[in-house]
Amino acid sequence: MTDNINISKASNLSKYLDLPQHGAVLAEYIWIDAHFNIRSKCKTLDKKPTSIEDLPEWNFDGSSTDQAPGHDSDIYLRPAAIYPDPFRRGDNIIVLAECWNNDGTPNKFNHRHECAKLMSAHEKEVIWFGIEQEYTMFDESDNPVGWPKGGFPAPQGPYYCGVGTGKVFARDVVEAHYRACLYSGINISGINAEVMPSQWEYQVGPCEGISMADELWMSRYLLHRVAEEFGIKISFHPKPLQGDWNGAGCHTNVSTKSMREPGGMKHIEAAIEKLAARHKEHIAVYGEDNDMRLTGRHETGSIGSFSSGVANRGCSIRIPRSVAKEGYGYFEDRRPASNIDPYLVTGIMTETICGSIPDADMVEETKRGEEEGF
């Protein structure tokens, strides 16, 4: 019944999406709120912008998103990146925006601003990232998609990269999201079903500098929007279901120009030493409830200790076998949880491995439960 309703809604909507807009362009502004949720609203433009500078600054009620007090609630949206809109298509666009206060300072929850400064300061390093975003799908009744009502599926084993009924679920959502990302110019490099049924992963990257976090946030927006049309909820919680199931992470692959060149292994090893010295600082920005995932089981290291190894998925940092063999390439930080703010993670990673002086703004007040005031 629900499927028939969704098909009917899609058919009705398509009639209106095909109507001419008479030169108007719809710009969907999206931003990140105080709780790492995505918000958006749409603005009509009289022509298609050719650059960020062509887009107007906008505003919203920050008291409704926990980003400002009610007596001084206006928060300004400053456009930061433009993407084609796969839902409205045509000349319509999606605008990724930063949040700024009316006194000209970045909003407390605008982590992009500090991240961009770090990337600019170390642009000579040509740092590349690739992030593996895991997520879990639930139906409208908050049951994992495909799971028996009130019960559990067979133990994990046949689901990872599975094929066939009973092994994978909601592939239609995954495929739709894949195409939406490609249409919008997101550098999505792959997808796969994960170890727990109803859990999937997609990879974004390699992306250089600030574009990594921009594109990951945009890919999340697209995932929520696609799933909305299928009546499915997306969870980025690192341990969405208790029991003998793998958690959900955002494994972050990293390399600098020197790491990617012959002899780069020494630079990778030097970076790992720096990461070991700042384990606690990194864990602080690697996602809320990450302690539920980083238990030392289910292909994770322990949250309380730092480790590294070649081809070892139980370590904090994994060096791929091929990289160890060739002597250059990249490393994978397996500690970040699926609900990270990628601006915080890529920012502190750049700060640490490039050897800059620690920036307090990137590490303080990062956990949502610790954030107070405005």
Backbone φ, ψ for residue 24 (5° rounding)? -75, 150
pLDDT at site 357: 40
pLDDT in tens, 248-307: 999 999 999 999 999 999 999 999 999 999 999 999 999 999 999 998 786 788 899 999
pLDDT at site 355: 76
Task: Tally Cβ neighbours within 10 Å of residue 24.
Answer: 13
pLDDT at site 56: 97
What torsion do the CA atoms of 219, 220, 224, 227 make, to the nearest 10 degrees?
Answer: 60
pLDDT at site 358: 41
Name the CA radius of gyration of the chain, rounded.
21
Average pLDDT score over the chain? 91
pLDDT in tens, 326-340: 999 999 999 999 999
Residues of the chain with pLDDT under 50: 1, 356-374
- Residue 363, C-beta contacts closer than 8 angstroms, at least 6 positions apart: 281, 284, 285, 348
pLDDT at site 301: 84
- Residue 360, C-beta contacts closer than 8 angstroms, at least 6 positions apart: none
Q: Where are the alpha helices (DSSP H) in the chain?
A: 2-17, 111-121, 171-183, 211-229, 257-260, 265-277, 279-284, 321-326, 342-353, 360-363
Domains of the chain with bracketed CATH = 24-109 (3.10.20.70), 120-370 (3.30.590.10)
Beta strands in the chain (DSSP E): 25-32, 38-45, 58-61, 74-84, 93-100, 128-138, 188-193, 199-208, 233-235, 250-255, 308-310, 317-319, 331-333
pTM summary value: 0.91
